[in-house]
Every structure is written in C-alpha cells, then in structure tokens.
Amino acid sequence: MYKKITLVCAFTFMLFTLTQAQNFEAGIFMGASNYMGDLPGGHVDSDKSSLAIGLFLKYNFTGYLSARLGYTQGRISGDDQFSELSTGRRQRNLHFESKIKEINILAECHFLAFAFDGDRPFLSPYVFAGIAGFHFNPKANIDNELVALQPVGTEGQGLAGGPDKYGLYQIAIPAGIGTEIKVGGVAKIGFEIGIRKTFTDYLDDISTVYPDIEALAELDPLSASLSYRTPEYDTAYGETNPVGNIRGNGSAKDWYGFAGLNFTFNLSALSELGGGPGIYNPF
C-alpha cells in the first residue's frame, strides 16, 4: 500500500511540475488516413483516403526539441475494381477495409524554435519520428455482410502445413514532416504528413499465394469464397483451383499514413499567459 501511495504522489508531483513549467501542451488532430499495399496497386491513391482523428500531449524540452504521446484513429481500404484491367488485379477481385487504432511516441525536431522570450518566428517547420503500436482488422464484404478476414484464414491459415495466422496488434515506425504557425498567445495550428513503416504484409489480408481452394472449401466454404473471388468477376473460373498462384507481393510490407491539421494549446498559458524569466514558453 505504501508503495502505491508513493507512486501516486510521485506521478501527481510530476504532472504538476510539467504543467507549471509551461512546457506542456495538448492538441487534436484531424485529417486523412491512407495505405500502401497490394490493393489496388501499391501506391497512395486519393480514392482510398478516409477521415482520421487523434489526440496528443506534448512536452517541449527546448524550442527545438519536443516529445509527443498520441492516439490516432483512421480507416484504410482498397479495392481491385480501381486497378487497371491490364494488370490482372481487377480480375483478382479482392477488396478490404480496416480501422487503424494507433498509440505513438514521437520526437519532434524543429528547425526554427518557438524560442525563449524575445524574437520568435511566426512559423516553425519540423521533422518527427518515433515508435507506434497499432491494431487493425481487415474485413471484406460478401453477400452484403462485412466479414473479418483474419479468423477465416484466406491464405490457408488453419490448413495442415499452412502459414500461421497473423497478429492484429503490430509495431510501426512513424516518420514525417510538418510545420506550426502561432495563433494568438496560447495556440498553434499546424499541418503534418507522416508515414508508418509496418512489419506486416497483412494490412489488406493479402501477402503470398493462393492456398488449395478445394481443401479450404472442405474446411470452411466461406474461407474459400473470400480467398478466391475471381469467379465472382468471371464465372468461367468457377471450377478453377488456383493453388500456388500469386495472390499478393510477399516481398514488401504494407505501409499506412496520416496527413492533416494539428490544433495545439498551451495548458499552462490557458490560465496564465506568458512565462517568468528563464522559463521556456513555446508561444
């Protein structure tokens, strides 16, 4: 019990100290999310952009260096129907959508500091990088119902000798650029764009080759239908078993990213504008 009380007191003191130092900020993010993978063609496409929102806390060590803890949520999607017919992807006829829920820890390095008392720049560009943990859950529509793809094992997960099921919780490396502009004495507005390098190729549930569709159908007809959807595009392929044929590009991992506006507020300055002599005030 004593240790718990000590930890609570220490945390409360630390939070109070940070706030009083006027280095502590809070903000919201609003923008768009996107992804790069096997659908429709491995590049960022405006047709795949969706609304993304987030919250973050930031601590300014100096005018040039800050640390940020945040939560961001968005949606990613892709559909072979947007692919060029000549690529063969439209005939593959796969699609997905997934929510991305990310917790990140980032370091911001500013080129022009919102510096100490004295002359302060109007605009401060920066770069950022860090580490993130995220959850995803790809789903596809079949018979007007969204079905989660990971549990059904569309690439033979669950078959004897098949690959293991991929995890829905993964690590990513965020990096990007942005800039901030002062708005009055207590707020800033900024724009940033960031990408996330992941270590999974299954954001879209597509990675390697087709499993034995006949064996998969015996195990679960729904799994087979979600794995091999070319017959829905062309019924001539209805009796085909594409076992071993390329389904995705297993040599490249998937990426996702967020771009949009940040609205940041100095928590201390909301109640008391400015800072004392020698105290860092980013505004």
pTM across the whole model? 0.82
Domains and CATH numbers, the chain: 2-266 (2.40.160.20)
Distance of CA 78 to the CA centre of its chain: 15
What single-letter amino acid sits at 10?
Answer: A
b/e code 44-54 from CB counts within 10 Å (16+ = b): ebeebbeebeb
Using CA atoms, how far residue 86 sits from 80, 148, 219, in Å, is: 12, 29, 34
pLDDT in tens, the chain (283 residues): 444 444 444 444 445 444 444 588 999 999 999 999 998 754 555 566 789 999 999 998 988 899 999 999 999 999 998 887 777 788 999 999 999 999 999 999 998 865 433 455 678 899 999 999 999 999 999 999 999 999 999 999 989 888 999 999 999 999 999 999 988 778 899 999 999 999 999 999 999 999 999 999 999 999 999 999 999 999 989 889 999 999 999 888 999 999 999 999 988 765 554 444 444 455 4
